[in-house]
Amino acid sequence: MEFFRQTMDGEVLAQVVDLPASLRGRKVEVVVSPAREAPLLQTGEAYGCLRQYANPALAGQESQAWQQAVLGKHATRRR
């Protein structure tokens, strides 16, 4: 990842950005890097995003899937 780093006077930087008062009048280090990519999904857009992995043949078993998984995991652990 490419970035830029420079040390400069806080008073000079305060003319460009809203710098906290505790950093003004001091040497500060400025690091500039590319912004992160925006998330692929915004809030409310996740519905249906995994439909490409759906198996229609198993859709009828969805209502009992959790119970069957728990039974399969814990039924053999009885004392």
Backbone dihedral region for residue 20 (phi beyond 0: left; psi -120 to 50: alpha; all else: beta) = beta
Residue 78 has a pLDDT of: 55
Query: At 69, which amino acid appears?
Result: A
Question: Distance of CA 73 to CAs 60, 65, 66, 76, Å?
Answer: 21, 12, 11, 7
The reply to whether 42 falls in a domain is no
Give the separation between CA 62 and CA 60, rounded to whole angstroms: 6
Identify the segments of the chain with pLDDT beneath 70.
Answer: 38-45, 76-79
Residue 22 has a pLDDT of: 93
| Token digits of residue 60 | 């009828």
Domain limits for position 10: 1-34
The reply to whether 15 falls in a domain is yes
Give 27-49 pLDDT, tens digit per residue: 999 999 998 876 665 666 677 77
Q: How many domains does the chain have?
A: 1
